[in-house]
Amino acid sequence: MWSVTEHLADILGTVRPLEPIELQLLDAQGCVLVDDVTVPVSLPPFDNSSMDGYAVRAADVAGASEEFPAVLTVIGDVAAGRGGPLTVGPGQTARIMTGAPLPPGAEAVVPVEWTDGGLGGGAVSGMRAHSTAPEGASGQVRIHRAAQPRAYVRARGSDVRAGDRALEAGTVLRAPQIALLAAIGRGTVRVRPRPRVVVLSTGSELVQPGEPLGEGQVYDANSFALTAAAREAGALAYRVGAVDDDAETLRATIEDQLIRADLVVTTGGVSVGAYDVVKEALAHVGDEDEEGGGVDFRTLAMQPGKPQGFGSIGPDHTPLLALPGNPVSSYVSFELFARPAIRTLMGVRDIHRPSARAVLRADKALTSPDGRRQFLRGRYDAEAGEVTPVGGAGSHLVAALAHADALIVVPERTVSVEPGTEVDVVVLD
Amino acid sequence: MWSVTEHLADILGTVRPLEPIELQLLDAQGCVLVDDVTVPVSLPPFDNSSMDGYAVRAADVAGASEEFPAVLTVIGDVAAGRGGPLTVGPGQTARIMTGAPLPPGAEAVVPVEWTDGGLGGGAVSGMRAHSTAPEGASGQVRIHRAAQPRAYVRARGSDVRAGDRALEAGTVLRAPQIALLAAIGRGTVRVRPRPRVVVLSTGSELVQPGEPLGEGQVYDANSFALTAAAREAGALAYRVGAVDDDAETLRATIEDQLIRADLVVTTGGVSVGAYDVVKEALAHVGDEDEEGGGVDFRTLAMQPGKPQGFGSIGPDHTPLLALPGNPVSSYVSFELFARPAIRTLMGVRDIHRPSARAVLRADKALTSPDGRRQFLRGRYDAEAGEVTPVGGAGSHLVAALAHADALIVVPERTVSVEPGTEVDVVVLD
């Protein structure tokens, strides 16, 4: 008998983060940055206007008011990304748009709302479009307010400076980090790729959902559930589907799939029966005269999920997790062992689900077998700090699983948990 | 001036959940179920064994012990998904595998570990594989323990019963729900599809990351950031990239894209400048002699994100959000307006990010303009119930955004928030 902790430690001791690759920025979403990223050019790259308005010399607008406006000559437009260089001399101004470089000579920006917009009337609420009123870029403008030097000017390098560390190695790239990388001009980035996870279920009784169910058959739920779960963990998951209980077929199928697998996850066929084909097929793989490590089958001190297999397979020693076949067993086993393995392959720092302490809300005590760490399905109320069991302990209760959002953990030496007691909870959402 | 609340209400009053489609189960991951799903066939569909062992009649093993075992004749194997019907008569037993149907005549299962496995010795730890030891399906077996009727038998319908409601309309399909749907035989499911969101940024100054930066140019960050953010919200997002500040080009580009858009998001060109091309291009769209609604441009009482456009465009009245162009303004606007719109298109019940109250941790008071709802970037510590501002209020501070995981909300009438005060926080993770 192995403990959950020992088994997980053995898995994590074997699985290594994937080799990094250079990806286009949006392809790297959700991936982990491998190197520190340094800012190559300061942001903003030049002093620029934070408003639509007029670029002025402070002295020219000193003391200006609506009653006694400063009257300046408009020498042209400075719009982001267009037009040649303009220099603002004494008594002059340039119309300037948000984000446009502050022209030489100018020291500040006066928002358009504090001017007559060149129309000779009162304060305006905005500029007319240049395409329909090009005369706005010339003539005279009345400025209604004074401006301190640097007013409405965003200084070069006020966001980040060349040489600063923009992002640290190990950062997961989500939208705001992608924003920053794009802003500093990174078109591609070195990250660990999403792990490719091949999921297959085993069992001659398994029928593809949507097909008619024969005598003694059940639908294949595991290959769907674990493919979806692998994706939620961040992997690219390939569902192979159900394989018959035949050792040669299974072995050939797995070998075929290795070319697209960073991790293989199987379900079923790992227990003590006479048709436990995963055990049968993969027990050979570890022979000393064959390449590719081997697969260990163990009995774990846990419920559900007692029988487990783990090892590596094929010339690249691709890690393989052989999970039990009961739907709830396989799902819980995936959460406990496959998900941390996937997160490790990704290079994520925090590979575990969040956990919490919560007060058990139940009508009666929970019972748990002595010597086994039990994982019960529950609904967790973070605000109240409470967890309520959903369904029973049976490993076939997939309906209960679909209504749970947490696992209630009952330690090995605990055989009964009274309502009102604090328990450990793994939060699945 | 419109309030944030009014603007959001106007958007949500217009956007409708997308029409449902039937999708393959794994294609429906993350989507919202449109109808209640009823269980067509009870689960498990037949009484079956929860252990690898022997299917027995209770009377035949009454009083059995290791010292005085019950000796039964093995009439064959019952394995999941294989073999014909067997009937267990008095004095007989069948080897049975986990998940296999309990054969007629048998009332209970005795785990193999409580037998001699047919080997004539002591208790065994498992069965030998049928492929290498077919004789295990015949001969005699010694049973070391008695069995209550129904022991280790999972009853037909003990998980879900035909006619039960498996999942409720409105459920988001994640891995456990996909497990349940597969288990009850659903190969496809009717859901609202992922919204297709077209993202384009505008600005003649914008350069694609990775290209050299010319005088007065900046990198296009918004189209990357919002494409990534739209995906994180659950959408299929298409990044068109940066469009020059030319009304005709912009209009033609948007019209081209409408064929793949459930929502169009633009950034930039919505303010009061002379080159605010989004405003210019889309102001015409609402003309009464044209199809397709219209786009309203508004000034919102918020910071950042004051100028905002919203409306619909084209023959299908595709919703369009015209967000401001400053990177932080566009990101905050996306969070406040585009994300809830996307979530509404998806049909999700809870369209908003979680929010919390947290104590402000800062060296000095936060200041906020009177009459504007301010959204500052912060780092939220849920455990401590505290939030710390990151960077300043400037809408160009994209580096700060990349290190934030929350927005600190300062209400319209508040101009200063002292450290130690409780504030509202929008949690972005």
Domain segments of chain A: what residues?
A: 4-18+194-346, 21-44+158-192, 48-154, 355-427
Q: What are phi and psi of A51, to 5 degrees?
A: -140, 160
User: Å from B417 to nearest chain A CA?
Assistant: 24
- B179: tokens are 């497990």
Chain B residues near residue A395 by CB distance under 8 angstroms? 50
Query: Of A158, A210, A279, which has the smallest distance from its Cβ to B188's Cβ?
Result: A210
* Burial of residue B54, with CB atoms counted within 10 A of its CB: 0-12 exposed, 13-18 middle, 19 or more buried: buried
The letter for the amino acid at B16 is R
Place of tokens 């077929």: A249
Instruction: Give burial (CB, 10 Å; 0-12/13-18/19+) of A375.
Output: buried
- Is the CATH number of domain A355-427 2.40.340.10? yes
Contact B257, B200 (CB under 8 A): yes
Quote the CA–CA distance of A199 and A309 in Å, as a whole number.
14
> Rounded to an integer, what distance in angstroms lies between the CA atom of residue B183 and that of residue A165?
50
Tokens of B96: 């049975």
Q: How is domain B4-18+194-346 classified at the CATH fold level?
A: Molybdenum Cofactor Biosythetic Enzyme; Chain A (3.40.980)
Q: Which of A208, A275, A400 sits opposite B79 (nearest CB)?
A: A275
Tell me the three state secondary structure of residue A312: strand
Same fold, A4-18+194-346 and A355-427: no
Q: Could you tell me if A123 lies within 8 Å of chain B, comparing CB atoms?
A: no
Assigned CATH topology for domain A21-44+158-192: Molybdopterin biosynthesis moea protein, domain 2 (3.90.105)
CATH number of B21-44+163-192: 3.90.105.10
- Tell me, yes or no, if B69 comes closer than 8 A to chain A by beta carbon: no
Condensed to tens digits (0 to 9), the pLDDT of residues A89-118 reads 999 999 999 999 999 999 999 999 999 999
Comparing CA positions, the residue from A414, A271, A368 lying closest to residue A329 is: A271
Dihedral angle sign, alpha carbons of residues B295, B297, B302, B303: positive
In the structure encoding, which two tokens stand for residue B241, read together? 């990239």
Strands A263-267 and A196-202: parallel
Q: Which residue of B has its CA nearest to A306?
A: B51
Asked whether the beta carbons of residue A204 and residue B82 sit closer than 8 angstroms, the reply is: yes
Pairing mode, strands B386-389 and B355-360: parallel
> Looking at the predicted structure, is the pLDDT value of residue A170 above 60?
yes
Looking at chain A, the whole-number percentage of residues with pLDDT higher than 70 is 96
Residue type, B224: F
Asked if A205 is an interface residue toward chain B (Cβ–Cβ < 8 A), one would say: yes
Rounded-to-10 torsion of CA A236, A242, A247, A251: -20
CA torsion through residues A243, A245, A246, A250, sign: positive
Asked whether the beta carbons of B94 and A267 are under 8 A apart, the reply is: no
Which pLDDT belongs to residue A181? 96
Q: Give me chain A's average pLDDT, please.
A: 93
> Which tokens in the block code for residue A26?
């949006």
Confidence tier at A392 by pLDDT (50, 70, 90): low
Chain A nearest-CA residue for B229: A175
Q: How many CA atoms lie within 13 A of A304 on its CB side?
A: 27
Rounded to the nearest 10 degrees, the angle between the axes of helix A339-346 and helix A222-233 is 40
Asked if B185 and A396 come within 8 Å (Cβ–Cβ), the reply is: no
The residue of B218, B244, B350 whose CB has the most chain A CBs within 10 angstroms, and thus the best one to mutate to test that interface, is B218
Q: Has domain B48-154 been given CATH number 2.170.190.11?
A: yes
The nearest CA of chain A is from the CA of B17 a distance in Å of 24
DSSP A60-73: HHTT--SSS-EEEE
Beta carbons within 8 Å of A335's beta carbon, 6+ residues apart: A229, A353, A407, A426, A428
ipTM over 0.90: yes
Measured CA to CA, the distance from residue A336 to residue A4 in angstroms comes to 8
Q: Does pLDDT of A304 surpass 70? A: yes
Q: Select from B129, B175, B210 the Cβ nearest to the Cβ of A185.
A: B210
Distance linking the first and last C-alpha atoms of chain B: 31
Q: Does A274 touch chain B (CB under 8 A)?
A: yes
Q: What whole-number distance in Å separates Cα of residue B93 and Cα of residue B403?
A: 66
Structure tokens at B50: 């929860």
Please indicate whether, in this complex, the C-beta atoms of A209 and B181 are within 8 angstroms of each other.
yes
Residue type, A292: G
Averages of pLDDT over each 10 residues, chain B, 429 residues: 95 96 98 96 92 96 96 93 84 94 96 95 92 92 96 92 94 96 96 98 95 93 98 98 92 96 96 89 62 82 94 94 94 97 96 96 93 95 94 72 94 96 94
Q: What's the pLDDT score for residue A394?
A: 61
What is the band of A82 on the pLDDT scale with cuts at 50, 70, 90? confident
**Cβ neighbours of A221 in B, within 8 Å:** 179-180, 182-183
Determine the pLDDT at residue A7.
97
SS (H, E, C) A113-161: HHECCCCCCCCCCCCCCCCCCHHHHCCEEEECCCCCCCCCEECCCCCEC
pLDDT at A40 > cutoff 60: yes
| Predicted local distance difference test score (pLDDT) of residue B349 | 92
